[in-house]
A and B are shown apart, each in its own frame.
Chain A
Amino acid sequence: MSASIALRSRTARIIFLFPLLSLFLTGCGFNNIPTYEEQAKAKWSDVLNQYQRRTDLIPNLVETVKGFAQQERSVLEAVTVARAQATSIKVDASTVSDPETFKKFQDAQAQLSGSLGRLLAISENYPDLKSNQNFLALQAQLEGTENRITVARHDYIEAVRQYNTELKTFPGRIWAMIFYTSNKPMEEFTIADSARTAPQVKF
């Protein structure tokens, strides 16, 4: 009789403890690291998406400018080369924890931003080009894309900050040490060099 009660209470205890344990683990941030990791990766794809959008706009823009300002060969070529360089770097979700590729990607995009800025600056000298409807539409799209890149980068930086902080602070640090040993801090964008300013589009 007493043995059966003991048995019953032991199974009951296990049944009762199991959900309690999972609640306890969730409450103590056991799931935070994978959750934040996924969030940061999603934001990173947003960033890549917006850079891709810019890359897709460029051939059209170059063609349009070429029609009006053929003599600006060096500037046009610089944009094409910078674009080719930026697209040659293979980036994906794993790039965020690979400082070397991340830096390469960032530098290439900055280079592209710089040459695009020069292209838009010289277009100021061609009144026909400036009033061309196609060019105006492209310029508006480019401007919007630059702005979206800024927002996407900002959101990514925030997500990474949350993730990296979780990895380095209590209690996330303990979970990272025991369970998430392969999780590495992610890279953030640095906005130090002047080359990274977005092209100023004037109308």
Chain B
Amino acid sequence: MRLGVSLPVLWSLGGLYVILAIASAAVQWLRWRQPEIQRNELVLRIRSWWMIVTIFTVAMVMSRNLSVAFFAFVSFLALKEYFSIVAIRRADRRVLFWAYLAIPLQYYWVAQAWYGMFIIFIPVYVFLLLPMRMVIIGETREFLRAAGTLHWGVMTLVFGISHIAYLLVLPDEKNSGAGGAGLVLFLVVLTEFNDVAQYVWGNMCGRNKIIPKVSPNKTWEGFLGGVATTTLLSVLLSVWLTPLQLDTAVWAGLLISAAGFVGDVTISALKRDIGIKDSGSMLPGHGGILDRVDSLTYTAPLFFHFVYYLYY
């Protein structure tokens, strides 16, 4: 039987379950040792991770097109969450419909591996179309704010996220071991690992605030600890999953950890602007979809162009 993915990808996915099992066991042990401390949030968070990893695994091993559709659905959920929390003008209800329509089209270009269209469709065509549709409706009050709000959402959550999916359709022979799925796994695992690592380092030895106005809990110690750990993991995983060499793997690790931090605090700034803590309630313990894909909105396009420039 020929599976949809290569052996290194399967092993790495298996590794995720091992890590989750260890995390679950560690939490159980902590609860047994210190029953007086409430850890509901942590328990919920890990339970959600099990769910995310399981859905991700199914999406990755079934078939390439299904994996692309999976990321289209992630974009849809994230964009829906975004439109539901930001202030949208009543007049723009029908414009949102066109913004949503950009999702199936954008991912269709991805599935077709039509790079030229994939890379300009949203920055050029959708960018020009949405204001035109708004003008036809004719509401000029807060026009610029509305246009900016719509475009920022479509750019980060559809265009940005779709770069993960485009990794899947890059020619397999350039990454003979693991193929496009290997690059996706590398990017997603490092990005999420970096989130956790920065949080853990920050908790253990965080002292100096890095960006107190936006995210008062983020510290220099957390950031630098995360960068170091993620870069180390990047070097280890790159051998299996990517065509990167030692030097480029170090650069990729630095890029993903730094960009992940920026993506995280950018969504934090958005939430702070609106005045909410979590973007939704879809993922118990995490918040909403936006709280989980925030870092990916930065790491996906940047990592994509890094490998695309160097190897494809």
A and B are partners in one complex rather than unrelated chains: no
